[in-house]
């Protein structure tokens, strides 16, 4: 009689440990999903604001470059240098924004890495459930296949984030170089200075092209963020269904 009581107590202890482990994992998963949902929403709101701002700034910068090119063609150094000073102010702003965007892109890599780690935890749990369970193998295999697909999606998203960061960093570095060069240069159109003036004009027009590329990147990132939000909503829905399935099995 005493032996039976000891066995039951041991079984109860194991049961409590399993339930506690499951609760801890579920709580961690829920917190991670909530964090990802908030991050996605924040990124989309920020992306829309950046898109509107970048579009307006690019349009203004292009107009100034067009006017500058006319002054250059007319070899009017006074008007060209007056406008160049205004353009440099815009360039300083754009370089600062590029730096912020590069930092944001780097943080998104860390966020994607955290999502992959969360996927790995879910996959470990799936494999553990499959080994432990002697029934409902179809559901176990379904959970495993779904979480593997989620991990593939998140790994692809991370590759995109790495590419976006590298491209943004390159734009920032190139913009910084052009700004440093143009900032200290005054245009002159006599025979001795014309070749250097043309080289610096090319740099100004190249800076405008980096703003085109930056706007295209903002559009692409906003599209990717919306896609990630749909994927994460599906993952959260799948996780919720999986939790219900685990409760039903116990």
pLDDT tens-digit readout, 80-130: 999 999 999 999 999 999 999 999 999 989 988 888 888 888 878 877 776
With contact defined as beta carbons under 8 Å apart, do 95 and 231 qualify? Answer: no
pLDDT averaged over the chain? Answer: 83
Q: Which residue has the higher pLDDT, 230 or 238?
A: 230
In sequence order, which residues have a C-beta less than 8 Å from that of residue 213 and are 6 or more positions away?
167, 171
Note the pTM of the prediction, 2 decimals.
0.74
Quote the Cα angle for 218-44-51, to 5°: 35
Query: How far is residue 221's CA from residue 44's CA, in Å, rounded to a whole number?
Result: 9
Parent domain of 225: 2-249
- Confidence (pLDDT) at 15: 47
**Phi and psi, residue 33, nearest 5°:** -65, -40
Assigned token pair, 67: 């006017």
**Residue 182: closest CA among 83, 110, 44:** 83
What single string gives the DSSP state of each residue in the chain? -HHHHHHHHHHHHHHHHHHHHHHHHHHHHHHHHHHHHHHHHHHHHHHHHHHHHHHHHHHHHHHHHHHHHHHHHTT-HHHHHHHHHHHHHHHHHHHHHHHHHHHHHHHHHHHHHHHHHHHHHHHHHHHHHHHH-SS-HHHHHHHHHHHHHHHHHHHHHHHHHHHHHHHHHHHHHHHHHHHHHHHT-----STTTHHHHHHHHHHHHHHHHHHHHHHHHHHHHHHHHHHHHHHHHHHHHHHHHHHHHHHHH-
Return the CATH number at 73.
1.10.287
pLDDT confidence bin for 3, thresholds 50/70/90: very low
Q: What is the pLDDT of residues 10-43, one digit of tens each?
A: 555 544 544 555 555 455 555 666 666 777 788 8
Quote the Cα angle for 170-171-172, to 5°: 90
Count of domains forming the chain: 1
């Amino acid at each position: 009689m005493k032996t039976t009581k000891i066995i039951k107590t041991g079984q109860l202890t194991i049961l409590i440990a399993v339930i506690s482990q499951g609760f801890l994992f579920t709580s961690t998963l829920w917190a991670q999903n909530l964090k990802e949902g908030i991050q996605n929403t924040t990124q989309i709101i920020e992306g829309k604001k950046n898109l509107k701002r970048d579009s307006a700034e690019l349009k203004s910068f292009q107009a100034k470059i067009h006017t500058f090119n006319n002054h250059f063609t007319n070899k009017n150094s006074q008007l060209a240098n007056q406008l160049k000073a205004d353009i440099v102010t815009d360039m300083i702003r754009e370089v600062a924004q590029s730096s912020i965007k590069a930092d944001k892109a780097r943080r998104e890599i860390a966020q994607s890495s955290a999502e992959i780690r969360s996927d790995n935890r879910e996959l470990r749990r799936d494999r553990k459930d499959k080994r432990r369970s002697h029934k409902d193998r179809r559901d176990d295999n379904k959970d495993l296949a779904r979480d593997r697909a989620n991990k593939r999606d998140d790994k692809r998203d991370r590759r995109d984030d790495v590419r976006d960061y590298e491209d943004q960093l390159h734009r920032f570095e190139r913009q910084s170089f052009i700004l440093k060069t143009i900032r200290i240069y005054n245009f002159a159109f006599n025979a001795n200075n014309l070749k250097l003036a043309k080289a610096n004009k090319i740099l100004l027009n190249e800076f405008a092209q980096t703003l085109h590329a930056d706007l295209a990147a903002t559009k692409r990132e906003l599209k990717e963020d919306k896609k990630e939000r749909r994927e994460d909503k599906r993952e959260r829905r799948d996780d919720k269904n999986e939790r219900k399935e685990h409760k039903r099995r116990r």
